Amino acid sequence: MTNKKMKTIWFCGNNEDTLIIIAEFLGEELINRDKNVELIVQSEVREILGRGLKDTPEDKATFTDRLGFLGNLLHRNDVFALIVSENAALNDRKTVKENYKNYLQINLGDKDDLCNVELNTKNDIKSNVKKIVECLIKEGLIPEKAQEVYSEEEEEEIRKRLEDLGYV
């Protein structure tokens, strides 16, 4: 039985790099709210999930279904599945949404019929993530307050260390 407190959050748009950054920031926010998260980037899992598939509309639909099925498996185990997919067709995503139910779609840029949250390409990443978080709070999927993992001083020290190591 699918856990109603978990969702497959599907990120759609024409800029995979920006979608990944937004999904990563949302993932951090969910983790800070004591949620389990898995980021699935279509271009990174294409080789594994797309085995045996060709570049036909039918096979593209099958691949999109496999992404949805994977998301469904994850939230059965109390995990938010964050799927970044810039090329999944609307009808294929509609089928996934109907089949697997716990589906929330985030659009960056052009809005389509399945969009639950529309992000503005002119807004910064944090503003867009805040909009998604507000939606998740409103739906009762996450608590209003994030857990404080580090104090501001500790966060600044970690940021400085990461900069020194060349990660930031």
| pLDDT confidence band for 1 (50 / 70 / 90) | very low
Domain 8-165 is found in CATH 3.40.50.300: yes
Crossing angle between the packed helical segments 125-138 and 16-32, to the nearest 10 degrees: 50
3-class secondary-structure state, position 41: strand
| Residue range 36-72, pLDDT digits in tens | 999 999 999 999 999 999 999 999 999 999 999 999 9
In this prediction, residue 159 has a pLDDT band, given cuts at 50, 70 and 90, of: confident
Mean pLDDT of 137-141: 89
pLDDT in tens, 147-156: 666 677 878 8
Q: How far apart are CA 134 and CA 165, in angstroms?
A: 34
Chain-centroid distance, C-alpha 163? 27
